[in-house]
Amino acid sequence: LVERMRPFTTTVFAEMSALATRTGAVNLGQGFPDTDGPASLLEDAAAALRGGRNQYPPGPGIPELREAVAEHQQRFWGLDVSPADVLVTTGATEAIAAAVMALTGPGDEVVVLEPYYDSYAATVALSGATRRTVPLRAPDFEVTEAALRAAFSDRTRLVLLNSPHNPTGRVLSRAELELVARLAVEHDAVVVSDEVYEHLVFSGAQHVPVASLPGMAERTLVVSSAGKTFSVTGWKIGWVHGPSELVAAVRAVKQFLTYVSGAPFQPAVAAALRLPDEVFTGFAAQLEAKRDLLSQGLAAAGFAVNRCEGTYFVTADVRPLGLTDASALAWRMPEEVGVAAIPVQVFCDDPTAAPTLLRFAFCKRDEVLHAAVERLAAAG
């Protein structure tokens, strides 16, 4: 294995899920729902499979899906997008990787919020660029101007932004996004905005796409995917849109990573993006109730639970339990408590960033969450 990839030989999600399976633990580690999304979506994909849509689709994605993404961006976020500037990818993961590889190389710096989604670090390493972190710290996980300024330099080429944010559950405010936008403009950096949780936002919070801020559409690549919105994380249909020349650069890389993506899933996702508003808001409301169920259970079991405004994830501090090492607890918990969670420290460079925090996924059936809460309470 080449040296730059040696820190990335395994993913914490694969390891923790394997441990949960081995021990029979309730798996609140890896974030994936245990219920499938809209029935019409599944039927449309099955119909496409049976209907012979099984060969290479067009490289940039099928026209229906590129049009549906453009319409969706207008309908929910007021963004003006031409279908010609939409590229369908193999999940958001590929969109991000292709963007980072298309736009950065050795000597360039990529600004990421810390904690960061695990693929960001590996992807930046693949491109040979260097990551610079903006610390978001518990319990508020706020983006501050000082932290942002410290991460930018004259080598900043790209900002890898993520809101709603995994793993903290933060939904960045307009003011925080304006800070990011101002620094991106000052440093002439491109923003890659990972918005896979765009629809998983709870009462009191509002998702603001950074591309909707003045002057940002021309320097932002917006990334999302069907996985989270429609509870089909295994389908790996994502997309990216932005200014034509930036999307063309991403397409140049994508075509040699995977060439094309999931033919029979594309028409199904296109139709799903056009489903009524209630499908989107109804799912968020269900998830919000699950957030509350799990948060209350964690608090009753003695954790200090942080506010969660969106995503599938809530973080909790182990210090009130008399513990100081959340990572050690996370690796013991499946066996001893029967519940799996992810230590937030694995998403950080700074070894002092989040040593006492665990991330719990609540995108599970209520009975599964109840079982987890009961086991946590019993463990004391």
Residue 298 is encoded by which pair of tokens? Answer: 């964690």
Per CB under 6 A, contacts with ligand PMP among 116-145 are 117
Q: Which of 104, 156, 163, 166 binds ligand PMP (CB under 6 A)?
A: 166
Q: Give dist(CA 59, CA 103) in Å, integer.
A: 20
Q: Which of 44, 114, 194, 288 binds ligand PMP (CB under 6 A)?
A: 194
> Contacts with ligand GLN: how many residues (CB under 6 A)?
5
Q: Where are the alpha helices (DSSP H) in 152-275?
A: 174-186, 226-229, 244-257, 265-273
Q: Which of 17, 73, 93, 168 binds ligand PMP (CB under 6 A)?
A: 93
Burial 41-68 (b: 16+ CB within 10 A, else e): beebbeebeeeebeeebeebbbebbbbb
For the CA atoms of the chain, what is the radius of gyration?
20
Closer residue to ligand PMP in complex, CB, 123/327: 123
Q: Which of 8, 13, 77, 331 binds ligand GLN (CB under 6 A)?
A: 13
**Could you tell which of ligand GLN, ligand PMP, none binds residue 92, using a CB distance below 5 to 8 A set by kind?**
ligand PMP
Single out the segment in contact with ligand PMP by CB under 6 A; choices: 40-48, 89-97, 151-159, 251-259.
Answer: 89-97
Per CB under 6 A, contacts with ligand PMP among 263-322 are none
Closer residue to ligand GLN in complex, CB, 14/252: 14
Q: Give dist(CA 144, CA 114) in Å, integer.
A: 12
- In angstroms, how far is the first alpha carbon of the chain from the final one? 43
- Nearest Cα neighbor of 305 from 316, 318, 319 is 316
Closer residue to ligand PMP in complex, CB, 222/337: 222
**Can residue 127 be called a binding residue for ligand GLN (CB under 6 A)?**
no
Q: Which of 37, 91, 169, 343 binds ligand PMP (CB under 6 A)?
A: 91
**Could you tell which of ligand PMP, ligand GLN, none binds residue 162, using a CB distance below 5 to 8 A set by kind?**
ligand PMP
- Nearest Cα neighbor of 198 from 365, 81, 312 is 312
Q: Give dist(CA 13, CA 117) in Å, integer.
A: 11
**Could you tell which of ligand GLN, ligand PMP, none binds residue 333, using a CB distance below 5 to 8 A set by kind?**
none
Closer residue to ligand GLN in complex, CB, 303/312: 312
**Can residue 90 be called a binding residue for ligand GLN (CB under 6 A)?**
no
Tell whether omega for the bond before 264 is within 30 degrees of 0, i.e. cis.
Answer: no
Give the neighbor-by-neighbor strand order of the sheet with 304-305: 304-305, 313-317, 357-361, 342-343
Single out the segment in contact with ligand PMP by CB under 6 A; choices: 233-241, 283-291, 296-304, 345-353.
Answer: 233-241
DSSP string, 324-371: S-HHHHHHHHHHHTSEE-EEGGGG-SSTTSSTTEEEEE--S-HHHHHH
Q: Which of 16, 26, 27, 30 binds ligand GLN (CB under 6 A)?
A: 30
Tell whether omega for the bond before 267 is within 30 degrees of 0, i.e. cis.
Answer: no
Max Cα–Cα distance, the chain, nearest Å: 59
**Pattern 264-303, ligand GLN, x by CB under 6 A:** ----------------------------------------
Per CB under 6 A, contacts with ligand PMP among 213-232 are 225, 227
**Can residue 238 be called a binding residue for ligand PMP (CB under 6 A)?**
yes
- Nearest Cα neighbor of 160 from 206, 125, 203, 200 is 125
Per CB under 6 A, contacts with ligand GLN among 152-191 are 166
Q: Which of 31, 38, 61, 338 binds ligand GLN (CB under 6 A)?
A: 31
Residues near ligand PMP (CB under 6 A): 31, 91-93, 117, 162, 166, 194, 196, 225, 227, 233, 236, 238
Residues near ligand GLN (CB under 6 A): 11, 13, 30-31, 166
